[in-house]
Amino acid sequence: MYKGLAIVFGFLFIGEGISELLHLPIPGNVIGMILLTLALISKLIDISDVEREAEFFIKNMSVMFIPPGVGVITYWGLIKAQLVPIFVALVVSFALTLVLTANFVEMLSGGEK
């Protein structure tokens, strides 16, 4: 168990270190994810060493969104004033992205046949 946790936190630490030292606008955890993927592909790390621990984090990710989400109460005034741009943009962008991306990819697939 501790081997897997050490790998996950190790890559998080390396990712954060790279993000901060190089002043990158990319979150350190994303850099850690990319590096861990590369380490798995290059067989530097064996999947069985980290699989169980990683799947535990992923399975329980939902509950972790709640505390940052609750933070919206501190912006309640802003959200009330911006209700229209926020929700119209959300719905329009959702529908547009879904329909156009699906059609675009279907066109790519069709071209192959």
Q: For residues 15-54, which are near other proteins according to CB under 8 A?
A: 15-16, 25-30, 32-34, 36-37, 40-41, 47, 50-51, 53-54
In terms of Cβ atoms closer than 10 Å to its own Cβ (0-12, 13-18, 19+), residue 50 is: buried
110 binds other proteins (CB under 8 A): yes
Within 10 A of 69 (CB to CB), how many other CB atoms are there?
9
94 binds other proteins (CB under 8 A): yes
Should residue 90 be labelled a site residue for other proteins when binding is judged by CB under 8 A?
yes
- Contact between 79 and other proteins by CB under 8 A: the answer reads yes
Helix %, strand %, coil % of the chain (to 5): 85, 0, 15
109 is a site residue for other proteins (CB under 8 A): yes
